[in-house]
Every structure is written in structure tokens, then in C-alpha cells.
Amino acid sequence: MCRWLAYSGSPVLIEELLYKPKHSLIDQSLHSRLGATTTNGDGFGIGWYGLGGTPGLFHSVEPAWNDRNLRELAGHVSSPLVFAHIRAATGTPVQQTNCHPFRHGNWLWMHNGGIRDFQVVKRDLVLAVDPSFYPEIEGSTDSETFFYLALTLGLKEDPPKAVQDAVGFIEATGRRHGVTHPIQMTVATTDGESVWAFRYSSEGSSRSLFFSTEVNTLRMLYPDDARVQMLSDEARLVVSEPLGSLVGAWNELPESSWGVIQPGRDELHSFEPAKAAVPA
Amino acid sequence: MCRWLAYSGSPVLIEELLYKPKHSLIDQSLHSRLGATTTNGDGFGIGWYGLGGTPGLFHSVEPAWNDRNLRELAGHVSSPLVFAHIRAATGTPVQQTNCHPFRHGNWLWMHNGGIRDFQVVKRDLVLAVDPSFYPEIEGSTDSETFFYLALTLGLKEDPPKAVQDAVGFIEATGRRHGVTHPIQMTVATTDGESVWAFRYSSEGSSRSLFFSTEVNTLRMLYPDDARVQMLSDEARLVVSEPLGSLVGAWNELPESSWGVIQPGRDELHSFEPAKAAVPA
Amino acid sequence: MCRWLAYSGSPVLIEELLYKPKHSLIDQSLHSRLGATTTNGDGFGIGWYGLGGTPGLFHSVEPAWNDRNLRELAGHVSSPLVFAHIRAATGTPVQQTNCHPFRHGNWLWMHNGGIRDFQVVKRDLVLAVDPSFYPEIEGSTDSETFFYLALTLGLKEDPPKAVQDAVGFIEATGRRHGVTHPIQMTVATTDGESVWAFRYSSEGSSRSLFFSTEVNTLRMLYPDDARVQMLSDEARLVVSEPLGSLVGAWNELPESSWGVIQPGRDELHSFEPAKAAVPA
Amino acid sequence: MCRWLAYSGSPVLIEELLYKPKHSLIDQSLHSRLGATTTNGDGFGIGWYGLGGTPGLFHSVEPAWNDRNLRELAGHVSSPLVFAHIRAATGTPVQQTNCHPFRHGNWLWMHNGGIRDFQVVKRDLVLAVDPSFYPEIEGSTDSETFFYLALTLGLKEDPPKAVQDAVGFIEATGRRHGVTHPIQMTVATTDGESVWAFRYSSEGSSRSLFFSTEVNTLRMLYPDDARVQMLSDEARLVVSEPLGSLVGAWNELPESSWGVIQPGRDELHSFEPAKAAVPA
């Protein structure tokens, strides 16, 4: 499927996130350990907040491991909030408009997993997208349709509710078409301030998702580690798989849960798809 | 907009069609004379019949003038029926799934022009596509939606009627949304035996379209021209603009008309959009 | 051939340089007025100084006019020193390693024009490149070889002398192979502080090159123009063709001359290729 | 490193070679079992003989496993002699001019392995290429330089001698620069009639190489296998790794050996690099 990373904290050069860690996302593009596929070479994307009215996007159809422009960008752009995604396509074409993260105004969205039998349910799902959002759908992935369903269901007002409603609707639609386990997902979304992360699958066996331990705790655990001591208080990472093997640094998000990284106290809740969500 | 070429006749190396003529399609990609834009550099595509159960396709997002794979393919593949298209994008992304010709089973389709305010009418048009065809729509162009509308309306049974019905539906839909002149088009489509060409626009001022004079006539006009004498009896070209300046070789398709190149006698008719075509 | 732009001044969003002007470089990629070709669609590149130990580079083989990543980057990265180049290939392949600007350590280099009959003289020129630089040549253009010749001849110590020596050597080499007018060029190079620009051709009829009028003068000329008033005192542009038609804003660099934009007073001198430059 | 395949026999659709076998070359692009890397996703190329004065080439920088144009071409072009290569880059850029097979006139060449410390020895090797061939070098790989060295040393007259001379020269050059094991290689080359295959490495531990058993033998082994019975008498494959697990179908080329597949009797010899090969 895919692998992704979300960072929120003090501004860092993007290469610190993508290239420097031992089992970095770039390394995962060739050698994923926990993913459904070991190679994630069907394009990639990054989104970052900084200058400009909306987050910046860089999408490429080339494998991340050898993309020179990605390395240049990562080495010359710094940001306090970065989304990065490497893709292993599952049927839809390898093209920039199918690369994550997707953007709508100030929001970013990325997804690992899939809507099962998407070709069967796609028309019903797309029809449920608000007509005002419809023309913005540029690619052909399940992930982008999922994003616009969530927007239709109020992502900008209440992200956890909107995603739980969208998943409820996708499950109801899939089951109506005879799909047993309609969705498999880890999702990250952000408005540029908070980052919401979701882990869920209809079959109760979801793709892996980890978040980094709070920096205060890490500092106490590793009083002599210069790299850890340098991290800002608020720095947090959410990742498909740990970027290294530092003991105590990574916590798995529980099955069927969501969390939010935000100014103030972070939160963790259980994820419950809406039973009968029907977009108006 | 775009430029295209359709060839039907005895098998020829594709480079004879694309590179050898004086004002070839490749030349038109940089220096179109009659097009809405002089540069058609936003990708290209060719489709050809030969080996394999369906026609072959080659789509690229690079400008045709410098694409080495196109030159190789053209120099090493021969075919009796070739579609070629160079694109000047008008809003939708430059990606392979937006390159013409489009294919459905044994059918090919290519289009120059546009459905005006496509973002406004797209949802209504896509909804009218038969759900069994819907999952085949891979790109985001007006031209591909147009193709699947025509298929929905019976392209495989009666191409001229289906295209006239589709145009009628597009015009009705556009006008309902306040678009004055909803469509501008030259279109070619084929089932591998016959080639249908259409020239029409809501405003009665359509993009140029030319077909080559019958070979018998050309031979009488140019008894000493070796190149003309070598052409097969059935050879016919339909092109956005003439490939050279041979007097008597090119005839403009009249405003609002359609023609068919087929085994036996070719035909030319007037094009009349259906008044109230509504897909079931 | 090509078109380019060099900017030095207070930091600006790159899109202010590339997209906002009326006859911007992006517009020139489709509609160059003064170039040898109207279309410059064979890839492009930008180089900028900012974060990171060396300048950042972004190279693409796609036409600049429709490249989404370029637009994103330009809208989200700001810099006080930017090089941008759009390419019209003259024989060598369209690939990222042939895109300008070229980089060596902290230096950037870009070129419009060509070394005539490059395939004939290439081996002699490449042999003259210092063996320590040789492995850095990644592409196959005349422009990159020219850069490494200049580096071999002392670009980092005395840029004007090194370029004049390199041109002398290229002319001597070309003439030994029977080439009448061995070089045609406008060149820009920078170490991140100063920008040197060169205009020269063996035949004395060089590609156009313009530099912007000093901001103080512009402010006096246009006391009511908000855009002009906002420019920083040191801001300077050097361009293949003017980006607009503001009277008094653009000055042509004289035939056979070079100039330098630097902290303190800018300079303009005549360009005189070395008579008998032979790399050691 | 890389994986490759060479086919000689009665004309087949290229997809029969690339996609249909169980452990096909396309499968090897994601899941190589015997290669130095499991992923070979840094571009690919095919070369085939058929129409046109020289063999056709198709080179792409995308991973082979998801390239739609490759699938189209493979499904619509048939040939009696096909070279196919998937690349895992080892330092040089991913660009079409670095994709194998390389072509010179009617000859094709592809290589798996590498010239060690190529950046150190490159200048000496390139200098040894005949100046008449020099301008044809378009990319930056060791493999292409190796090809032009072999051409310089008489590839067209006596391929085994020329390759053994080139390897001798590469080893002498490498050792002069302090490289212990200068070369690692499997190579295939053809003039469109015969196919020569080479397996060698300075350290005596070469990449794997297999050739298919003669069809007569296979037919006796598998009297009931329709697929085997259909093969033409002359059909032969040389591959980096077996395409399936049919017992008796694949024979490993011995360490330090070369073979030729030709009209008449095929041959197998030991490979002995020239001791003191110095290009004139």
C-alpha cells in the first residue's frame, strides 16, 4: 500500500525528517518492513506549511529514493508542519494527481490502505460528494474521493466526526455492493495547526501507525542524546512505521482509534464509524 | 487546442505519417498554422491497429517534437489504421490519462476543441454516463467524458447518431447552466474498420478539418509524382491541417458535417445535434 | 535557444519573478519575442540561495508553462538571489542533467546560445577540463562543458578573466576544426553574492540581454508606481528579454560586454576573449 | 544492480517474454531473487529487431512494473530478437540516456554489474574510446562507456575478442588507480543475427546468468507441455535469473565464460581478459 509521515513542531529542514533517520521514509520506499508491500515506488508527495497562503505541494511519479528534486527541496526548505507520503499503487494510474497529500484550501490529507472494490463503489461515493467540491477532484484514487467525502461531511468543522461519518458511509455503501470489509486505513489530516491521525479497518486489523513519545519524556530517557535534547517541546511525529529503534520513542496507535496533535494537550480516542451516515 | 491525424489505407510505417510530410503533425506540435494555439506541447498520443486484440496505445506527457520513444515507435511499427493526437491543454492536467486517443475495447476516439465551462457541467455529464462505463473513465478531460457519453448513447451501433445525440445532450446541459456556445469540436472515432470524422461547434465557427482527395484523382493530377503513385487505392487521411501544399490534395470538411471512410464508398453528411437527447 | 533571468536583491517569493510580470519567463516559454525560437519547452531549471549549504536546484524536463511543481515551489520559496532558465534544446537530449542552472559548490551557471558544431569539438573541450572536475560533468550539453572549462580556468578566482579565457579557448578549438563562428552566448554566473553577466558571440551579433535600471532611478521615473516603490535599493534583474514594457526600466547590455551586480557599485566592461588561452 | 533478458527464435509478441512467465522480468523488477538488489526500479529499456533499418529502442525512467506504454508496446509488437533490461542505478542519474540496451548502428548492448570506482577511472576509459565514436556517448554510465570501448576494440569484427580486450583494458586501468576488483559483469550483445553472452568478474564471483536448454531436449523432457511443444527449434533465452522453475529448462553459464547463440551450432567458451590491451 503506502507509507507516510506527519511532523509538527519547531521548523526543521525537511531532509531531517525524510533522509536523516536510520529507517527513514526514503529508506521505507525501498525497504518497508511493516507495510503490505516492501517497495513503495509509485510516486510520492510532500506538503508543507510556510510561505504562501496555502501549504506547498510537491508531487512526483518517480520513486522517492532516486528523485533529485525531492532531495534538493528537502535540503533547502524548512517547515514546522510537514506531511510526506510514498505510494504503492493498487490499480489506479501513477500520475501526479494521484499522489498524496491532497490539498483543499488550507487542509492536507493523506491515506494508507484502500477502499475495497473501489471501481464498484466509486460512482456512489463520488455522487455523494457535494457538487461544489466535485470539480476539485482531479485524480482517480479512492483516497482523494475519501477526502472530499470527509469535506462534504464537515471535515473543516469537526474532523473526527467527519471522518467517522465518511467511513460509516463508505462501509454502508460497500456492504450494499456486497463488499465484506469495505475499508482499510490510516489517515492524517491537518488545517495547518492541529494534526489528526486515524487508524481503522472494517476487519479490525489495521495497518500499523505510530506516534512519537512526548519530547519531555524522551529527554528524561536519553539525557545524553544530543539529537533528542535538541528537539522542541512540541515536536511530534506520526508515522506508518518507526524511523529508528530508539527504545521508548515510538508508541503504536491502538486499533480503531484516532488522536490529535494540537497546541495544548494531545488527545487519543476510540474510532467509531457512524452507523447510518448519509451525505445530504 | 489540439491537432490530430487519422490514417486508413495500406499498412505504412507510422513515421511516414508523423515525421516525413513537410508540415507534419510533429511540425504542427511546434508551429501549428490553423490552430487556436501555435504550440501543442502538452503531451501526445498515438493509437494503431495491428497485432493484439485491441489497438495499441502510446501516451506521453512530453512534447511530441523531442520525444525519442515516439520516434523509435514510429520508425519500427507499421499499421493500416493510425490515430495521432498532439495536445494543448486547456485547464486539465498534463498526464497520460488525459492524452488522446482514448480506447474502449476496439474503439478509439480523439477530439480537438472543448466543452466550454467544463468544470460547471462536468458533474451532470459524468452522471449521464452509463454506470457500467463509469469506472473506465481514468482521466479528467472533457474529451474522455464526451467519448463515454457517446458510448452510452450507442456509439458502437450507430456512430453518427450517437455523436449527434451526445452533442445535443452537451448543448442542452451547457445551456441549462448558462453557457452560450457549449461545444467546439472536431472528432475522429473508429472501430478498426471505418473512420468517422465530425466537425461542429455551437457557434457555427468550427476548428478546421481536412480530408485527403481520393487516390485515383490524385494520381491523375500528379502522373509524375512517385510518392502519389505509390499510395494504395483506399488510402485516406483526415487532418486538423494539411500536411503539405500539394494543390488539389486537401479538401476542407464543410462546417457542421460528418464523413465516414469505409470499405466501399466514403460518405459526407451534415451534422445535426439531437434536439432533446437525454441518456436513459 | 533559451531564455533566462537572474535576480539579486531583497528576498522575494520566486513567483514574483517567474509568474507575475506581464511578459514573464513562463510567458516567454511559450511566446518568446526576441529569442531564436518562440517556444522554449525542453525543460527548465531554477537555482536559489537560502537555507542549505549550497544553492537549491529544481530541474524538470517538462515545459515550464504547465509544470505544477514549479508553480508550487515558486509560490512557497523566497530568496534574495535566483537564477531561472527555460530551455530550447539544440540537439542534446531533454533530461534533468542537461537543465540549467548548473551547480558546482556554491556557484551557479546558466547559458543561452551554443558552441557551434559541439559534437565536433566536444572531445577536445572535455579533455581540457581539469581531471578533478571531470567526474562532475553529468549531462551532455555544450553549456555544462563551458562551465567546467571556466572553472578549470579560474572562475572562482576571477570570473571575467576565466570566462574570457574559456571563450578564447573555445574559439581557438572551433577554428582549428574549421568552425567559422565557434560561440554564441549570454551567460550568467554567481557565487551567491555577486552576479556576473556576459554577452558575446564570435560573429559579433549576440543574443539579446538586458539589465534593469537602478531602483533609485526607477523610483524617480515612477513616483506613483507602488510596485516600483516597493523594490529594495539593491534589487537588480538581468534577463534575456524585458519582462514588461515600462519605459526606462530596461537597458540592453552592449554587444561584447560583461557586467557585475555586486555589493557596492555595479560595473560594465567590454568582453575580450583571450587570444591564446590553453588550459594547463 | 540490474536484470536482463535476451531472446532469439521465431517471432513472438514481446509480452510473451516480459509478462507471461511466472517469474518474469517484470516480476523481477519488484522481486528479484538472485540480484544484488531486490528492486530494479530505476528505469528500463527494450530493444527489438523487425521493421526499420536498425533495431527499435524503448527507454523509460519509470519502474517497469507500472509502465503502461511498455505493456502496450509488449502487447502489440512481435520480434524474433529481443533485448530487455531493468535497471537498479548505482550512482549515475536515472535518465533515458542511461537506460540499456545501448545501440550503435545494428548492434545492441546491455550490462549488469559495474565498473568499480567508475568516477575514478572514467576519464581514462573515455579517452580510450575512438574519437569517431566519442560523440555518440550520450549518457553517463559505465555500461555505455564499456560498449564504446568494445566497439573501439573491434566488437563488430570479433565480439569475444573485443570484449575480452575491453575487460583487460578496464582491469589494467582500474588496477593502475588502485581498484582491487575493477569489473563485475554479465553482458549481452547482438548484431541482429547472433547473440553473445558474457559472465565474468575480476574477483571470480560473478552475477548469475542462465541460458535455456535447447528446445529439442525440452520437448523430450516435457512431451505433454503445450507451451514447450510450441517453441521454435531455434528459440533460446539468456537471462539474469530463470523465468520459472521448470526442471531442466535452465542452465547456469559457468563462471568466467562466454557463449554465442547463432544460426547453426551454439558455442560456449571460457572468458579470458586480455593481459595488456591498449586501445590504439
Say what the ipTM of the complex is. Answer: 0.92
Question: Under the phi-then-psi rule, with left for phi > 0, alpha for psi from -120 to 50, and beta for the rest, what region is A270?
Answer: beta
pLDDT of residue C120: 96
Q: How far apart are CA C144 and CA D140, in angstroms?
A: 14
The residue among B41, B90, B75 whose CA lies nearest residue B61 is B41
> What is the DSSP annotation of chain A?
-EEEEEEEEEEEEHHHHHTSSTT-HHHHHHH-SSSSSS---S-EEEEE-SSSSS-EEEEESS-GGG-HHHHHHHHH-EEEEEEEEEE--SSS--SGGGPSPEEETTEEEEEEEEETTHHHHHHHHHHHS-TTTGGG--S--HHHHHHHHHHHTTTTT-HHHHHHHHHHHHHHHHHHTT-SS-EEEEEEEESSS-EEEEEEETTS-PPP-EEEPPHHHHHHH-TT-HHHHHS-TT-EEEESS-SS--TTSEEEPPSSEEEEE-SS--EEEE----SS----
* Type of residue numbered D41: G
Tens digits of residue pLDDT in B75-92: 999 999 999 999 998 788
Nearest chain B residue to A135 by CA: give it.
B119
**Does residue D185 register a pLDDT over 70?**
yes
Polymer length of chain D: 280
Q: Computed from CA positions of residues A253, A254, A256, A259, in that sequence, does the dihedral angle turn out positive or negative?
A: negative
pLDDT of residue D279: 56
- D92: CB partners within 8 A, 6+ apart: D98, D118, D139, D140, D141, D142
Q: How far apart are CA B95 and CA A96, in angstroms?
A: 8
Q: What is the mean pLDDT of residues D218-230?
A: 79
The residue among C54, C112, C122 whose CA lies nearest residue C87 is C112
| Cβ neighbour number for residue D236 with a 10 Å cutoff | 21
User: Comparing A254-263, B36-45, D33-42, which segment has the lowest mean pLDDT?
Assistant: D33-42
Q: How far apart are CA B232 and CA B21, in angstroms?
A: 17
Q: What is the mean pLDDT of residues A74-96?
A: 93
**Does residue D210 register a pLDDT over 90?**
yes
C-chain CB neighbours of D142 within 8 Å are: none
Q: What is the mean pLDDT of residues D120-143?
A: 96
Q: What is the mean pLDDT of residues D132-148?
A: 96
Interface of B to A at Cβ within 8 Å reads 93, 95-97, 119-120, 122-123, 127, 131, 134-135, 137-140
Please report which confidence band the pLDDT of residue B276 belongs to, taking 50, 70 and 90 as the band edges: low
Catalytic residue, candidates B1, B2, B121, B188: B2
D-chain CB neighbours of A68 within 8 Å are: 93
**Does residue B37 register a pLDDT over 90?**
no
User: Comparing A70-84, D46-60, D221-235, which segment has the lowest mean pLDDT?
Assistant: D221-235
Tens digits of residue pLDDT in C124-138: 999 999 999 999 999
More confident residue, D246 or C93: C93
Q: Are strands B102-104 and B78-87 parallel, antiparallel or unpaired?
A: unpaired
More confident residue, B160 or B213: B160
Reduced to 3 states (helix: H, G, I; strand: E, B; else coil), residue D44 is: strand
Q: What is the mean pLDDT of residues A245-263?
A: 91
Cell numbers linked to B182: 457549449
CB D98 within 8 A of CB D43: yes
Tell me the nearest-neighbour CA distance from A118 into chain C, angstroms.
Answer: 27
Q: How far apart are CA C76 and CA C70, in angstroms?
A: 10
pLDDT of residue B233: 82
CB A200 within 8 A of CB A182: no
Using alpha carbons only, how large is chain C's radius of gyration in Å? 18
Tens digits of residue pLDDT in A178-197: 999 999 999 999 999 999 99
Please report which confidence band the pLDDT of residue C98 belongs to, taking 50, 70 and 90 as the band edges: very high
Cell numbers linked to D13: 509478441
| Cβ neighbour number for residue C38 with a 10 Å cutoff | 18
pLDDT of residue A279: 56
Q: What is the mean pLDDT of residues D34-57?
A: 90
Max Cα separation, chain A? 57
pLDDT of residue A30: 85
Tens digits of residue pLDDT in A36-65: 778 889 999 999 999 988 999 999 999 999
User: Comparing C101-105, C142-146, D20-24, D130-134, which segment has the lowest mean pLDDT?
Assistant: D20-24
The residue among C2, C5, C31 whose CA lies nearest residue C17 is C5
Tell me the nearest-neighbour CA distance from D71 into chain B, angstroms.
Answer: 10
Q: How far apart are CA A164 and CA A82, in angstroms?
A: 24
The answer to whether the CB atoms of B69 and D77 lie below 8 A apart is no
CB A222 within 8 A of CB A246: yes
Q: What is the count of residue pairs from C and D with beta carbons less than 8 Å apart?
A: 36
Q: How far apart are CA A154 and CA C193, in angstroms?
A: 50
Chain centre to alpha carbon of residue D96: 17
Please report which confidence band the pLDDT of residue D175 belongs to, taking 50, 70 and 90 as the band edges: very high
3-state secondary structure A129-162: CCCCCHHHCCCCCHHHHHHHHHHHCCCCCCHHHH
Please, what is the angle between helix B118-128 and helix B142-152, to 10°? 30
Alpha carbon of D241 to those of B34, B139, D35, D67, D185: distances in Å? 54, 37, 8, 22, 14
Strands of C267-270's sheet, edge to edge? C102-104, C107-115, C183-190, C195-201, C257-261, C267-270
Q: Write phi, then psi, for D230 (nearest 5 degrees).
A: -80, -20
Interface of C to A at Cβ within 8 Å reads 13, 48, 50-52, 55-60, 68-69, 72-73, 75-78, 96
pLDDT of residue D209: 95
Cell numbers linked to D159: 565480439
Tens digits of residue pLDDT in D71-109: 999 999 999 999 999 999 878 899 999 999 999 999 999
Q: How far apart are CA C245 and CA A100, in angstroms?
A: 41
Q: What is the mean pLDDT of residues D194-213?
A: 95
Nearest chain D residue to C136 by CA: give it.
D119
More confident residue, A230 or B191: B191
Averaged pLDDT score across all residues of chain A: 92
B-chain CB neighbours of A121 within 8 Å are: none
The percent of residues above 90 in pLDDT, for chain C, comes to 72
Q: How far apart are CA B163 and CA A50, in angstroms?
A: 49
**Does residue A129 register a pLDDT over 90?**
yes
User: Comparing A135-149, B242-256, D183-197, D265-279, which segment has the lowest mean pLDDT?
Assistant: D265-279
- Picking from C50, C51, C69, the nearest residue to A58 by CB comes out as C69
Q: Could you give the residue numbers annotated as active site of C? A: 2
pLDDT of residue D124: 96
Q: Computed from CA positions of residues B136, D24, D31, D57, in that sequence, does the dihedral angle turn out positive or negative?
A: negative
The answer to whether the CB atoms of C140 and D138 lie below 8 A apart is yes
- Picking from C30, C68, C89, the nearest residue to B66 by CB comes out as C89
More confident residue, C61 or D247: C61
Which chains touch A (3+ CB pairs under 8 A)? B, C, D
Averaged pLDDT score across all residues of chain D: 92
Q: What is the mean pLDDT of residues A187-214?
A: 96
The answer to whether the CB atoms of A127 and B127 lie below 8 A apart is yes
Q: What is the mean pLDDT of residues A192-211?
A: 96
| Cβ neighbour number for residue D230 with a 10 Å cutoff | 12
The answer to whether the CB atoms of A93 and B95 lie below 8 A apart is yes
- Rounded to two decimals, what is the model's pTM? 0.94
pLDDT of residue C169: 97
pLDDT of residue C276: 63
* Type of residue numbered D265: R
Reduced to 3 states (helix: H, G, I; strand: E, B; else coil), residue C14 is: helix
C-chain CB neighbours of A75 within 8 Å are: 51-52, 56
Please report which confidence band the pLDDT of residue C245 belongs to, taking 50, 70 and 90 as the band edges: confident
D-chain CB neighbours of C138 within 8 Å are: 93, 140
Cell numbers linked to B54: 485491441
**Does residue B253 register a pLDDT over 60?**
yes
Q: How far apart are CA B150 and CA B145, in angstroms?
A: 9
pLDDT of residue D7: 95
| Cβ neighbour number for residue D248 with a 10 Å cutoff | 11
**Does residue A278 register a pLDDT over 80?**
no
